[in-house]
Structure 1
Amino acid sequence: MKRLYSLILLTFFGFVSAQQYPYYQQYAKYKMDIDVDAPNFTYQGKQTLTYTNNSPDELKVVYFHLYWNAFKAGSMMDQRVQSQGINGDSRLQQNGISRLASIPKEEEGAQNIKWIKQNGKTLKFEIQETIMKVQLAEPIKPNSSTTFTMIWDAVVPKQIRRAGRNNREGVDMTMTQWYPKIAEYDYDGWHAFDYIGREFHAPFADFDINIKIDKDYVIGAGGTLLNQNDVKGYSQSANVKTDANGKATWKWQAKNLLDFAWAADKDFSVETFTVLDGPQIYYVYQKSEKTKFWEESKPLITKYFQIMNATFGRYAYPSYSFVQGGDGGMEYGMTTMILGEAKTLEGLVGLMVHEGNHSWFQQMLATNESTKPWLDEGFTSYAETLVMHQLFPPAEPVANPFVGTINSYTKFVKTGKEEPASWLADHHDDGRAYSVASYTKGELYLVQLGYIVGEQTLSLIMKEYFNQWKMKHPTDRDFLHIAQKISGMDLKWFNNYWINTTKTIDYAVKNVEYGDGATTVTLVNKGGVPMPVDFSVLTKDKKVVNYQIPVNMTREWKKKDIYGNFTTLNYWPWTQKEYKFTIPFTKAEISALGIDFSQRMADVNPADNIVEVR
C-alpha cells in the first residue's frame, strides 16, 4: 500500500511538474549613452538595463556577451581558426593562417567593464574571454524585474569578422556585437556561448540609445532615428547640433528587437523609399561607380518585401536599413550590414534578400542560431531561392527553383566531408561542412518536406509557423508540431534522418517488364533515408501520368501537389528494399518513366531514376 501511495504521489507531482512550465520568454530594456572617440576608434559606454525574469526559476547569476574580446591574438576564436586551417572560415584566415594572430596590439578588440551594479549594489563579476559571469546581490525571482547599471570602455577592433574599423570598402566603423549584451535564458538554461565567429542568440529587448560622435559622421542603424533634423544625412533641412567638442548626438529607439547594430562613416549617403503596405527602407552607403547597383535595386527590394509579406507573414517593424559595412552580409534587428561593391545587380540583390530574410527566420521567428543554425540559415536560404527565382527568372525553364541547391548538396556529399546539421554552429570541424549542414540541408529540409506533404500544404505550414511563433523563440520541435498537425502526417522520422544523421536518399528503377497490356516496374531503395516516391510516366502523346507511393511511416498520404494529379498506390514499408507495381501502359505507349519528374527529392544518384523507352 505504501509503495502504491508513493507511486500515486510521483505520478501526480510528475504531472504537475510537466504542466507548470508553459512557454515564457525573458525581456530586456537597454538605455545607453555612448561617447565615440572616432580618431582613436574607441568609445565610452554607460548602460542601464532593466531585465525581466518571466521564467519560473529564481536566477542567482546572469551572463553577458562581450563579443569584441575575441578579436585578438591567442583568443579562442584565434585558436579555433588555427586548428581548422584551410578548412575553416576563409574570412578569418589567409592561406590557412589566422588573421587574428596578426592583429596589432592597438587594434585588438576590447570591452573593459569598469563596474556593474544591481539596483545600486556593486556586483562581483568574472570575465571568461567573451563571456562575463555576474554574481547577483539579490536573486531575480520569477515574474520580477531588476535593474543593472554599467560603465565600460571599448576599443573598436580591426575589421576581420562582421564588426570593426576600416573594412575593405573603406567604411570607418561597423558597430555590431558592440555592447555588453545579456545572454538568453530559457527552459534549457543560460545560453552563454563563447564567441568563435558564427551565430547569436538573445532575448527580445527595447533600445533607447544616444550616440555622441564627430558631427561629420553619418550613422546607419536598425531602429528609428528620433532627431533627424539635428544630425547629418537624413534631412535636407537639418541644422546639425553640436556640443563644445564638435560632436553631434544621435538618438535612436527600437522596440522588441534581438539586437541593435549601427555603422558610421563620413562619406555615407542616405536614401529612403517606402514599400507599399510595407516598411520604410533606408539605404546608407558610399555612393560611387562601385555601388551603382544600389539605385537599380530599389524596385526589386520593394517587390521583395511584398513577396515575403504575402508568402510567409507580414514584416513587423516600421523600417529596415541596408547599411554598407562588415565583411559580407550579416543580419541584425531592422538592419543588415553588407558589402556594397557588387559586380552585378543580381549579386547585390541576392545578398540583400538573404540577409533581409533573416528578419523572418531569426529576428521575428527568433530561433537559437547557436544550437540550431539550420533552422535559421536553412529557412532563410529557402525563402531566398523562392524570391530570387521570381525577381530574376532563369533564361531557360527549370523543374523547380531548388534544382541547383540539390545538385550542390549531392556534389558535397560525395566528398565524404558531410557533418550532421544537428551540430552546434561553432563546433563543426570543416567550414564547408558547416555551410552545407546549416544553409543547404536546412533549405532542403523544406524542399523535402514539400515533396512529402505537397507544396500547398507546405505553404500553409510556413504561414501557420509564422502566425503562431512570430516575436517568440520557436524550436524545431515547435515547427514539427505545426507541420504534423496541418499535414496529418507523422514526420518525426524525416526530421531525425535529415537533421541528426548524414544518411542519404538514393532510389532507383531496378527493372521494367513490358507485357501485352501493362508494364511492371521494380524500384529499389539503395540509400539510408526512406522516402515516399513520386513516380511518373511520360506517354508518347506527351501526357504525364503520376503515381504516389507513400512510405508507411507517415500514416497519412499526400492529398495533392502543384506538380499534377496523381494516383496513390499501396504504401512502401520502410524496411523493404524493393517495391514492385504494375501500371496500365504498354511499351508502345511509353516515352519515359521514372522517379521524381519534379526533381525535388534530394537523391544523391539521380541518374538511375529515369528510364527512356525507345
Structure 2
Amino acid sequence: MNKGLLVIFAFVFGMVSAQQNAYYQQYAKYKMDIDVDAENFTYQGKQTLTYTNNSPDELKVVYFHLYWNAFKAGSMMDQRVGGQGKNGDSRLQKDGISRLASIPKNEEGAQNIHWIKQNGKDLKFEIQETIMKVQLATPIKPNSSTTFTMDWDAVIPMQIRRAGRNNREGIDMTVTQWYPKIAEYDYDGWATFDYIGREFHAPFADFDVNIKIDKNYVVGAGGTLENPLEVKGYDDKANIKTDDKNKATWHWTAKNMLDFAWAADRDYTVENFTVLDGPKVYYVYQKSEKTKLWETSKPYLTQFFQLMNATFGRYVYPSYSFIQGGDGGMEYGMCTMILGEGTSLEGLLGLMVHEGGHSWNQQIMAYNESMRPWMDEGFTSYYESLIMHQLFPPKEATANPFVGTLNGYRNFVKRGIEEPAVWFGDHHDNGSAYSVASYTKGELFLVQLGYIMGEQNLSSTMKEFYQTWKLKHPTDRDLMHIAQKVSGMDLKWFQNYWINTVKTIDYGIKDVKYDATSTTITLINNGTVPMPIDFSILTKDKKVVNYQIPLNMTHVWKSKDIYGDFTTLNYWPWTQKEYTFTIPYNKSQISVLGIDFSQRLADVNLADNMVEVK
C-alpha cells in the first residue's frame, strides 16, 4: 500500500473510531393522562411517548420497565427474597420469609398493557416479568425520533417496598416507578435489569402528566404544578375545579429528569420555603404531633442545599419536594418519598439529607445505579457524612466526618462475608454485603481518594466531574479520568483493588529504634491493598510533624493536604513488604508516633498503627 493511501485509511479509520466512541444519550418525552380510582387503588393510563435515538445504532426493538409486576407471589423478586432467607433485605421479609408471598390477590401489583402503537401502527410485545419487549414496525434510525402511544391499567400494590397503598404511617398512595418506562440504551446496550427490589436506570426525559383523582386528595410530586388554583392544598385562593365524577385534575410538568413520581393522601398538608440561591422546597406530609420535627428541620434543609451547591455543584431544577410516603426513604426526580414520623431531629435530617443528596448523584449525574450502585449510594453517603458533620458537630471534636463509616467498615470486614462493590446491585447474595459494598465502600472510595491525592485535589475533582457530566450518564471511568488529570497521579490501581476485590488495607509499625539524635521506624504491610502512608509524630511540646511515604504506583506524589504540611520521603514499592526510615527526633522529644493521624486510612487493624513513647 502506498503512503498516500495509508494516510487516507488512517484518517478514515480514526474518524469512524471517534464516531463509534463518541458520547451520546437518548431522550424521551412523555405525555400522560391518568384516571385514578382511589377507592379501589387502581388507575387507567394513556401515554404518548416521543423517543429520540441519538445513538449511532439502528434500533429494531425497544424495552420498557413494568416495575409493579414484581409485587406478587411467585415473582422474581419473591423468589430472590425467599431464596436468600435471613440474608436478604429485611424490608422485604418477615422472619426470613418473603412478604411478597402473602400479598392478597386483589392487592398484587399489576401493569396490564392493552396495546402499544408506533406512529399509529399496532406493535407486537412480550411481557417478561418486569420487562416488556416490543418489536418495532419501523426501525428507529440513528438521530431520528418515533412516537409510541399506549393504553394500560394498573393496580397499586400492597405497600411492601417503596411504592404501594396504605403505608405504615397511613399514606393512601405512594406511586413510584409506576408507568411503562422506556429503558435506557447506551454503549453497553439496553439496560434491561429485572426489578428485584434495588436500583433503577432510565434515559433523561420531559414529562407532561395529568392526574385525575377524587377532589379531596392532595397530590405531592416531583415536578412543577401548573394549575395550583384548581386543586386542593397548594394555594389558599384555590377554587377546586372538578368533573362530573367529582374528580380534580392535577397538571404536572418536569424537564430533563429520569422519572416522575407522586403520592396522594386526603390528609396531606403542603408547605414551602425558598432557599437563597437554591430551589423552592415543598413539604407534603400529614401534619401532626408525630411529624412536628418537619417544621424544625426547615433551616437545616436550607443549609443542606446551600452546602451542596457550594461543595459539589448547583442544583439544576426549580424545586424539590419532601413527601411523606413509601418505606424508609427513596429518591426520585425533584422529590423523595420518606417516612415522616421522626423521633429525633438528627434522625429525620439524616434521612432528608441522604435522599435529597441523591438529587445530585442518582438524578443529575444519573449513574447507571443498577450496574454501579456504589457511585450513587456511596457518593451520596459521602456528602451525607460531610454535611451532617457540619449541621450537627460531634461533642468530641474531630476533623474527620467519616470516622463512623470507617469503624463500621472495619467491624463488617471481621465477619468475612464482604462482596465486591463491582457486582450489580440486585446480584449480591447477602443484604448486608450489598449495603457495605454500595454505601460504605462507595463512600470510602472518595475518602481514600482524598487521603491519596489530598483533599483539595478531591474537591476540585468532584466539582469538575459535576460540571462536565451533569445531566449526562457518566461512569467511574469518567470520574477517574478527571481525578488523574487533576492530581497527575495514576489511580487505576486503587479503583481496581477497592471496587473489584474485597482485599483490605493493613499497615503496622513493626519496629522502633531510638538513637541519641534520631529515631528509626520500620513499617510493615500486612494487608493486600497497597497505599501511600501518612506518618506523623506528636512532640513533647505538642507539635505535629508529618511525613508522606508515597506509593510508587501513583508516580506523582501528593503535594499538599488540609491536615498539615509534610516532608516527603522515598517511595515505597508496592511489592516490598517492609519500609524503614529515620527521622531527626530522639525518644526524649517524641510523645506519640503513628500511621495516619487524620484517621482517614481504611486500615482494618488499628492496634499496631500507633506507639506511645514513654
Say yes or no: TM over 0.5: yes
User: Match of 1:516, SS?
Assistant: coil
Q: Describe the superposition over 1:569-606 as per-residue Cα deviations: whole angstroms up to 9, x where unpaired.
A: 00000000000000000100000101000010000001
Tell me the equivalent position of 1:240. Answer: 240
Cα distance in structure 1, aligned partners of 2:612 and 2:516: 19
Tell me the equivalent position of 1:56. Answer: 56
Amino acid at match of 1:410: R
Contact 1:537 1:592 in 2 (8 A): yes
Tell me the equivalent position of 1:96. Answer: 96
Tell me the equivalent position of 1:433. Answer: 433
Tell me the equivalent position of 1:15. Answer: 14
Contact 1:534 1:595 in 2 (8 A): yes
Q: Shift of residue 8 of structure 1? A: 9.1
Cα distance in structure 1, aligned partners of 2:594 and 2:300: 38
User: Match of 2:31, SS?
Assistant: strand
Cα distance in structure 2, aligned partners of 1:517 and 1:223: 68
Alignment of 1:449-528 (within 5 A): 449-528=449-528
Q: Shift of residue 38 of structure 1? A: 0.3
Asked if residue 351 in structure 1 is aligned to residue 360 in structure 2, the reply is no
Distance verdict in 2 for CA 1:8–1:196, change over 3 Å: farther
Tell me the equivalent position of 1:79. Answer: 79
Asked if residue 123 in structure 1 is aligned to residue 105 in structure 2, the reply is no
Q: Shift of residue 399 of structure 1? A: 4.3
Tell me the equivalent position of 1:534. Answer: 534
Alignment of 1:45-444 (within 5 A): 45-444=45-444
Amino acid at match of 2:389: H
Q: Shift of residue 16 of structure 1? A: 4.0
Cα distance in structure 2, aligned partners of 1:5 and 1:148: 49
Cα distance in structure 1, aligned partners of 2:508 and 2:447: 20
User: Match of 1:244, SS?
Assistant: coil
Cα distance in structure 2, aligned partners of 1:472 and 1:200: 15
Q: Shift of residue 485 of structure 1? A: 0.2
Q: Shift of residue 273 of structure 1? A: 0.4
Cα distance in structure 1, aligned partners of 2:402 and 2:70: 37
Cα distance in structure 2, aligned partners of 1:372 and 1:598: 29
Q: Describe the superposition over 1:207-234 as per-residue Cα deviations: whole angstroms up to 9, x where unpaired.
A: 0000000000000000000000000000
Alignment of 1:550-589 (within 5 A): 550-589=550-589
Q: Describe the superposition over 1:302-337 as per-residue Cα deviations: whole angstroms up to 9, x where unpaired.
A: 011000000000000000000000011000000000
Q: Describe the superposition over 1:131-152 as per-residue Cα deviations: whole angstroms up to 9, x where unpaired.
A: 0000000000000000000000
Amino acid at match of 1:257: M
Cα distance in structure 1, aligned partners of 2:413 and 2:90: 21
Q: Shift of residue 398 of structure 1? A: 2.0
Tell me the equivalent position of 2:547. Answer: 547
Cα RMSD (Å) = 1.4
Cα distance in structure 1, aligned partners of 2:416 and 2:11: 50
Cα distance in structure 2, aligned partners of 1:221 and 1:513: 66
Cα distance in structure 1, aligned partners of 2:24 and 2:150: 27
Cα distance in structure 1, aligned partners of 2:52 and 2:290: 46
Amino acid at match of 2:156: V
Cα distance in structure 1, aligned partners of 2:296 and 2:492: 45
Cα distance in structure 1, aligned partners of 2:155 and 2:16: 47
Cα distance in structure 1, aligned partners of 2:4 and 2:548: 53
Amino acid at match of 2:40: N
Cα distance in structure 1, aligned partners of 2:442 and 2:242: 49
User: Match of 2:446, SS?
Assistant: helix
Tell me the equivalent position of 2:31. Answer: 31
TM-score, L = length of structure 2: 0.98
Tell me the equivalent position of 1:602. Answer: 602
Cα distance in structure 2, aligned partners of 1:588 and 1:110: 75
Contact 1:399 1:599 in 2 (8 A): no
Number of paired residues?
Answer: 613
Q: Shift of residue 6 of structure 1? A: 12
Cα distance in structure 2, aligned partners of 1:486 and 1:366: 22
Q: Shift of residue 5 of structure 1? A: 12
Contact 1:66 1:181 in 2 (8 A): yes
Cα distance in structure 2, aligned partners of 1:343 and 1:554: 47
Q: Shift of residue 13 of structure 1? A: 6.5
Amino acid at match of 1:128: Q
Cα distance in structure 1, aligned partners of 2:212 and 2:122: 27
Cα distance in structure 2, aligned partners of 1:188 and 1:588: 62
Cα distance in structure 1, aligned partners of 2:58 and 2:584: 68
Cα distance in structure 2, aligned partners of 1:10 and 1:535: 55
Q: Shift of residue 392 of structure 1? A: 0.6
Q: Describe the superposition over 1:458-509 as per-residue Cα deviations: whole angstroms up to 9, x where unpaired.
A: 1100100100000100000000000000000000000000000000000000
Cα distance in structure 2, aligned partners of 1:441 and 1:14: 40
Q: Give the ranges of 4+ consecutive aligned residues of structure 1 lying more than 6 Å apart after TM superposition.
A: 4-13
Cα distance in structure 2, aligned partners of 1:92 and 1:6: 64
Cα distance in structure 2, aligned partners of 1:419 and 1:237: 56
TM-score, L = length of structure 1: 0.98
Percent identity for Structure 1 against Structure 2: 77
